Amino acid sequence: MITIKKKDKNGNTKTIEVRQTIGKNLSFSASEAYKLLRTNILFSIASDKKCKTVGITSALAGEGKSTTAINLAYTMAEANKKVLLLECDMRRPSIAKKLELRGTPGLSNVLAGLSTLEEATQSALLNDLYIITAGDIPPNPSELLDSEAMKHTLEQLKEIYDFIIFDLPPVTLVSDALIVSKLVDGIGLVVRQNYNSRQALSDAVNLFKFTEGKLLGFIVTGSISTKKGYYKKYSKKYNYYRKSYGYGYGYGYGYGQKKVSSIFNKETDKKTEK
C-alpha cells in the first residue's frame, strides 16, 4: 500500500491508501502473465549474451510502462538472476515513489559525474533486485543518455548483472527511448487496452523501424480477465482481482524542462562563477 494525497470536489486535501500492483501484491493472473513475459524475453535474446538488456516503453503516457518494468525486473529476480532496474525516464520519474526509495542520487547524477554507481544503487523487494532511480531531473536528459558516459556506465553494469531492465519514457513524446534502443538487446512496447490508439501505436512502431531498434513485441496492460478455464477455480478460491493490471497514471505527462533540479543549477552556477 502507498499513501497519496488527493483533493475532493470541495478542494479539501485528503490522504488515501492505494493498493499497488507490484511484486508480491500482484494478482495470480498478473503474476502468471509476467512469468510468461519473462519466458518470451528469454527466448527472444541470444543465450550467449552474458548480460541481457531490455527496454520497456509505451507509445503514450499512462499505459503502465514503469509498473511493467518493475514487475518484469521482479519476476526476473525471482528466477535467481541478479537484476538491475535502471530508470531512464529522467523527465517524469516515478520508480522511487512506487518502491518507496530515495530519489537521488540516481542515473543522472552518475552520468553527470556527481555520484558513483555504488552511491546510486539501491535494493528493494528481493535480494537479487537492484534499482538505480532517475536521480535529479537534469536540463538535458537526451544528451546524457546519448553520451559516452552512458555507454561506459552500461558496460560497467553489464559486468555485474544478469539482466538490466530499462524504464524508458513514452516513445512518441520524446526521443529518449529511441536513443537507448540502440544500446539494448530489445524493446518491449506496453499497450494499454481501450486507451491507446491505432495511430499512436503505428507511430511508435514506425519510429523503432526508422532507428532500427529491435522491437521484441507488445505487452498488453489493463486487460480484463474473463475467469474462464483453468484459472477460474483459483480466482474464486483466492478472490483474485478481475483486473489483471489496473495501472493508469492519467493524462498530462508533463514532459518538458520547466523543472530543473537544484543540484544541477548549483553545478552550473559554480562553472559560471569560475
**C-alpha distance from residue 211 to each of 55, 71, 218 (Å):** 15, 27, 18
- Is pLDDT above 60 for 262? no
Average confidence score pLDDT of the chain: 81
**C-alpha distance from residue 25 to each of 29, 70, 100 (Å):** 12, 12, 15
Helix axes 28-44, 65-78, angle to 10 degrees: 80
In the chain, what's the furthest Cα-to-Cα distance? 70
| Average pLDDT of the residues in 170-195 | 93
Spatial separation of the C-alpha atoms in residues 170 and 189, rounded to whole Å: 9
- What number does CATH give the domain 2-267? 3.40.50.300
The backbone region for 86, taken as left when phi is positive above 0, alpha when psi lies in -120 to 50, beta otherwise, is: beta
Spatial separation of the C-alpha atoms in residues 146 and 56, rounded to whole Å: 17
- Is pLDDT above 70 for 230? no
- Is pLDDT above 80 for 23? no
Domain ranges of the chain: 2-267
| Average pLDDT of the residues in 222-240 | 46
C-alpha cell at 234: 483459483
